[in-house]
Amino acid sequence: MTDAAVPRHADSNVAATDASGHQRSARNTLDVERVRADFPILHQELYGKPLAYLDNAASSQKPRPVIAAMTEAMETYYANVHRGVHRLSQVSTDHYEGAREKVARFINAPRTDEVIFTRGATEAINLVASSYGRAFLKPGQEVLITALEHHSNIVPWQLLRDQLGITLRVAPVEEDGSVRPEAVIQLINENTGMVAISQVSNALGSVLPVRQIADAAHASGIPVLVDGCQAIPHQKVDVQALGADFYAFSGHKMYGPTGIGVLWGRHDLLTQMPPYQGGGEMITSVSFEESTFKGPPHGFEAGTPAIVEAIGLGAAADWLEAHDLEAVAAHEHRLLEYATERLSAIEGLRIWGRAENKAAIVSFTMDQAHAHDVGTIVDRAGVAIRAGHHCAQPLMERYGLSSTVRASFGIYNTEQEVDQLADALQVVKELFG
């Protein structure tokens, strides 16, 4: 990722050990072997070949501290949160709320109570569409998205459109997969009620000019929702510096567990929003005549939450934060460049998405073989990649494609794994060519 790869301050080049005992890497270097040692799952063979896990954009693997935090919760202090007077419930509540603090710190949220735990990014976006959307968007107003959005940032707005009579406006994507800020900004008008955009495309890796778009939206008083799913594992995210009003992401793509994600929202917006779901935990009082509700975050967390998973997400945030995220971004950028070079050299292979500012995702097709055949063959070489539409069918259509093969890199990937992929693709070429 070009931006993040550039060190923002040329400070000490000396490795140091932080409070959690992790060694911070020297500037722009990452001890990948040390990182890999934290991931038990990576040290295995498939079909007699070392596993090369290159499906991180779909879901990433879990380091020992995340597994340990979740195991510790279940083995030593697990109980339901908030309602209990007994000791375990209090300890469990402290850890659950402690995880919220860790996440707030991780994204530089101004307030901890702006962090709402959800099932994932999908639920976070649905929460905004349902709660903010139904309360504040009026028939005839527009929600502005881009053509590269994940289905989870399209369909919730369509559902709202069908309920409310709002309109969905779609800003175009360039041939190289980039989104020009002007292409979005010129669609902002007096009817725009919300701008909802990805920070990084899951299908092509393009990094969007969020800040510029947010500044333009704010100049017209329009809130901006950012889908940060594909950014949060790879770079330092500061929701304030980004200019987001809502920020959505999933735990399982940032080395945390499934079943947990986050909606961060500006406190003044959250306090004006009606409940998303009703039930236990989100009320202050209930009678058959009427109920009253808590404010954020608990007013948006109806029912027993994903307690163990939230604790795991807090551990993932701590684990990621213990690394130099600029060094992580630089490492992944080098993998992107190396993979682009190796894959470009394969005859009949075409890479989709060549944006200048790009995360470590390489989407491609091969003249010789269907994406699913490619995925199946490279699997036999121990390489895990994804083939399909990546939940971005309108984007695929933009390029006249039904699917691509996608290799997506994370903190623990290596150049040898890129070689393993490239060699396996060479076999595909020879088999089908």
Q: Interface with ligand PMP by CB under 6 A: which residues? A: 120-122, 150, 152, 198, 202, 227, 229-230, 250, 391
Cβ(255)–Cβ(315) below 8 Å: no
CA–CA separation, 53 and 413 (whole Å): 8
Q: Which is nearer to ligand PMP, 4 or 121 (CB)?
A: 121
Q: What's the min distance (Å) between Cβ of 199 and ligand PMP? A: 8
Q: Which is nearer to ligand PMP, 207 or 422 (CB)?
A: 207
CA–CA separation, 248 and 115 (whole Å): 10
Q: What tokens does 109 get?
A: 């949220």
Q: Which is nearer to ligand PMP, 117 or 327 (CB)?
A: 117
Q: Which is nearer to ligand PMP, 62 or 342 (CB)?
A: 62
- The CA-based angle 323-311-24, given to 5 degrees, is 10
* End-to-end CA separation in angstroms for the chain: 33
CA–CA separation, 93 and 298 (whole Å): 12
CA–CA separation, 361 and 217 (whole Å): 28
Q: What's the min distance (Å) between Cβ of 88 and ligand PMP? A: 30
Q: Which is nearer to ligand PMP, 381 or 395 (CB)?
A: 395
Q: Which is nearer to ligand PMP, 125 or 216 (CB)?
A: 125
Q: What's the min distance (Å) between Cβ of 143 and ligand PMP? A: 16
Residue 65's nearest CA partner among 43, 98, 39, 36 is 39
Q: What tokens does 394 get?
A: 């309108």
Q: What's the min distance (Å) between Cβ of 249 and ligand PMP? A: 8
Q: What's the min distance (Å) between Cβ of 277 and ligand PMP? A: 16
391 is catalytic: yes
Q: What tokens does 29 get?
A: 């270097």
CA dihedral 168, 171, 172, 177 (to 10 degrees): -110
According to DSSP, the β-strands at 246-250 and 224-227 are parallel
Q: Helix, strand or coil for residue 366? A: strand
Q: What's the min distance (Å) between Cβ of 24 and ligand PMP? A: 28
Q: Which is nearer to ligand PMP, 57 or 381 (CB)?
A: 57
CA–CA separation, 263 and 131 (whole Å): 12
Q: What's the min distance (Å) between Cβ of 122 and ligand PMP? A: 3
According to DSSP, the β-strands at 224-227 and 192-198 are parallel
Cβ(213)–Cβ(182) below 8 Å: no
CA–CA separation, 245 and 55 (whole Å): 30
CA–centroid distance for 73 within its chain: 25
| Sequence-ordered alpha helix ranges (H) in 282-324 | 307-321
Q: What's the min distance (Å) between Cβ of 361 and ligand PMP? A: 10
Residues forming beta bridges with residue 405, ordered by sequence position: 364, 387
What's the DSSP call for residue 272? T
Q: Which is nearer to ligand PMP, 130 or 152 (CB)?
A: 152
Of the residues 164, 328, 378, 391, which is catalytic?
391
Q: Helix, strand or coil for residue 249? A: strand
Q: What tokens does 89 get?
A: 């419930």
Residue 276's nearest CA partner among 262, 296, 258 is 296
Q: Known catalytic residues?
A: 391
